Amino acid sequence: MVLGRSEHVNSPVEPVTLKILVAGGFGVGKTTLVGAISEIRPLRTEEQLTEAGRPVDDTSGVEAKKTTTVAMDFGRITLRDDLVLYLFGTPGQERFWFMWDELSEGALGAVVLADTRRLDDCFAAVDYFERRSIPFLVAVNCFEGAARHPSESVRQALDLDAGVPVVLCDARDRESAKGVLVDLVQHAMRYSAERRRPVPS
């Protein structure tokens, strides 16, 4: 059958797919965020924490945590009919950081999840994305019982550039997590546009 002109016009358009990383320290909520927002059953590579790992896995502040991501979390969300995000949650412990280079290949940007009770855990992720010029934002996961701090205080504590967004979120809540991803996509698009802008001679 030969398609007519109108049938060509109405044919579905392949959506743009973008790769997003979800990074941060151990126990900050990366797996929770990917699971809360993914429209497919997320792929998880979690293993039980063991006594052998206690010397290298700092569980202070997250004593109830029993598992850890050893490779990545993977999920997908459709933001619009023409825009699909693939989410890759990175492992938080230092001994798995060798995987970050492979996971970050081709990424549009990254969400750095932060817990204000363990803010130092964010420095490695912030430094990683800054050094590789990968646009990112910091999303403060508002844990129950944790003190709330103004975004500017978090920015100063992490020594972030003025252009890096800092937002508050609840990693368990789908709409909250979706808002973080929308903010990241918008930030990454602005970042890319600025880098393409010609420098005045």
Give the CA distances from residue 102 to residues 21, 22, 43, 105, 173, in Å, rounded to whole numbers and listed in that order.
Answer: 11, 14, 17, 5, 29
What is the SS3 assignment for 24-50? ECCCCCHHHHHHHHCCCCCECCEEECC
Q: How confident is the model at residue 95 (pLDDT cuts 50, 70, 90)?
A: low
Range in 39-53, 65-79, 83-97, 166-180 the model is least confident about: 39-53
Q: What is the DSSP letter of 151?
A: H
Question: Is the separation of the CB atoms in 71 and 99 below 8 Å?
Answer: yes
pLDDT at 13 over 80: no
Dist CA 167 CA 76 (whole Å) = 21
Q: Average pLDDT in the 84-92 region?
A: 90
pLDDT digits (tens, 9 = 90+) for 24-61: 988 899 999 999 999 998 876 655 544 444 444 454 55
Buried b (16+ CB within 10 A) or exposed e, 114-126: bbbebbebbebbb
pLDDT at 181 over 80: yes
Buried b (16+ CB within 10 A) or exposed e, 167-190: bbbbbeeeebbbebbebbbebbee
Dist CA 112 CA 141 (whole Å) = 10
pLDDT of residue 44: 66
SS3 177: helix
pLDDT of residue 179: 97
SS3 160: coil
pLDDT digits (tens, 9 = 90+) for 101-159: 888 999 999 999 999 999 999 999 999 999 999 999 999 999 887 778 899 999 999 99
Range in 28-32, 39-43, 170-174, 190-194 the model is least confident about: 39-43
Compare 184 and 25 and report the one with higher pLDDT.
184
